[in-house]
Structure 1
Amino acid sequence: MGMRQDIEELVEEAERQIREHKWVLSANDRTVAARAAADLRAVVDSPRSQQELPEVTRLGHLREALAAVAIALAHVHGSMAWFLGAAATALTPILHWRAVPAGHGPTFGAVSPTLQQYAEAEEAIRRLHSTLARIATA
């Protein structure tokens, strides 16, 4: 299963829990969601804009998005923490990607993602962004 599918399933579960009142959003959940959504939006732009960037920049943006999720996770507990933790886990393949040539040295297991993998990861970030933005205003 891919990163985008993992995020999609996570989002569907979160939306279901909120709808069924199994996850009651706190004011802090909304505040953290708003900040995380803004941070994600700031680093991953539209598909067309992202495709025009060099791969090293795209990867940098994806790493920034993962960092934004991790920072948000540090400020919450309970369901929001579990949601953000699962999102960070789904995005971890980004940590094993490299955008520069390996040269003659070790890469510590880093691999070059395909353009499709970049696009999938960026779409996963956009989906997470839209969900967090809705949580912020729920």
Structure 2
Amino acid sequence: MDMRRIVAVLAEEAEQQVQDQIWHRTPSDRALALETEAGLRNVVGPPEVQEALPQIDRLEHLRETLAVLAISLARTHGRLAWFLSGAINALEPILRWRAMPADRGGTFGTVFASPEEYAEAEQAVRRLQDILAWIAAE
């Protein structure tokens, strides 16, 4: 399953839990979701902006999204933590990507990602931005 699909499933589950009144978003959930969404928007912008960047910068931005999510995860618990954990898991392949050639020696299992993979990851992050904004909304 690709990153976009995993994030879509997470978003559907979050929406369903709220609709079914299983997840009662607390004020702290809403505040942290809004802060996380803003952090993600600061590092991954619209497609035309991201696609104009060199791959090394795109990779840096995608890695920063994982940092934003990890910091938010460390600051919460319960359903929002579970959602953020799923988001980090969905984006995990980014951790194995590299943008620089290896002159000699091993690469510690890292691989070059295709332009399509970068676009897919960035689309997944944009979907996370949207669902976090929804989680934050009243």
Tell me the TM-score normalized by structure 1.
0.98
Q: Kindly indicate whether residue 18 of structure 2 is the aligned counterpart of residue 18 of structure 1.
A: yes
Structure 1 residue 136: Cα displacement: 1.0
- Cα distance in 2, alignment partners of residues 46 and 103 from structure 1: 33
The corresponding residue for 1:94 is: 94
Q: Kindly indicate whether residue 70 of structure 2 is the aligned counterpart of residue 70 of structure 1.
A: yes
Q: Unpaired runs of 5+ in structure 2?
A: none
Structure 1 residue matching 2:112: 3-state secondary structure: coil
Deviations 1:77-105 (A, max 9, x none): 11000000011011110000000112212
- Cα distance in 2, alignment partners of residues 136 and 50 from structure 1: 25
- Cα distance in 2, alignment partners of residues 40 and 64 from structure 1: 8
- Cα distance in 1, alignment partners of residues 79 and 134 from structure 2: 16
Segments of 4+ moved more than 3 angstroms: none
The corresponding residue for 1:56 is: 56
Root mean square deviation, CA, Å: 0.7
- Cα distance in 2, alignment partners of residues 96 and 131 from structure 1: 25
Tell me the TM-score normalized by structure 2.
0.98
